[in-house]
Amino acid sequence: MLRHPVDADVDADVDVDVDVDVLSDDVGIKFVSAKPSPSFHQQSRHFSTRTALRKQQGLTIWLTGLSASGKSTIAVELEHQLLTHYNVAAYRLDGDNIRFGLNKDLGFSEADRNENIRRIAEVAKLFADSNTIAITSFISPYRKDRETARQLHAAAIHGEEGGQGSSGLPFVEVYIDVPVEVAEQRDPKGLYKKAREGIIKEFTGISAPYEAPEKPEIHIKSHEVGIKEAVAVIIEYLEAKGYLPERAVQN
């Protein structure tokens, strides 16, 4: 524990936890660097209190599937219906959009894909903890990465140090299933064509693997149902689980 030096702009009684690196030599010990050691800062309101005040459940709806499977289109319609029909706060996190900002430093190697999903899982968890419904639409091709996202939500501590009274945050995996040949026929961005030509390397479904979910909460075959029908399936599940309030606007 180090005490901050007295400063006119700093409270002299503020304590700072640090990890200190030291080196020893013939003369004695040298302090090389002091690195802040983060500690969890408790929220001003408990998760259950925020839930009661905001009158909605926070959770993450994780859409996964091949490029051109329909994830983003379904996510857009789902967000729209939650906002307009249920008057709940919902926010869509899109795989393409995130790479313009938060993850613009990442490529498409397996390691970068892992980090891409880790970051967005952490962001989605924060949205869910704030009692917002996070809707993510990411290819997220690897089971271990999706499981990491799930476990991050399961271990969420809801603003209480040590997780006392916490039961985790709901995580709903939605597999948007489509045969690769159908996705390739759709190919709105021409990505499959470029992957076949070797222009795009490590493209999921062509030159990189997609590991389909084994036990998703929801399995939608987007080549067999329309967008509104797919969204209806998701909403029906959310209602059955008690994640949504009473519908505010009827069709």
Q: Among all residues, which ones are annotated catalytic?
A: 140
By the 8 A CB rule, do 130 and 44 touch? no
Secondary structure letter of residue 71 according to DSSP:
H
Rounded to whole angstroms, the Cα distance separating 243 from 194 reads 41
Per the structure block, which two tokens stand in for 153? 């939500």
DSSP single-letter state for residue 162: G
- d(CA 60, CA 140) in angstroms, rounded, equals 14
Say how far apart CA 190 and CA 241 lie, in whole Å. Answer: 39
Is 61 in contact with 136 (CB distance < 8 Å)?
yes
Determine the Cα–Cα distance for residues 162 and 160; give it in Å rounded to an integer: 6
Q: d(Cα 114, Cα 119) in Å, to the nearest integer?
A: 9
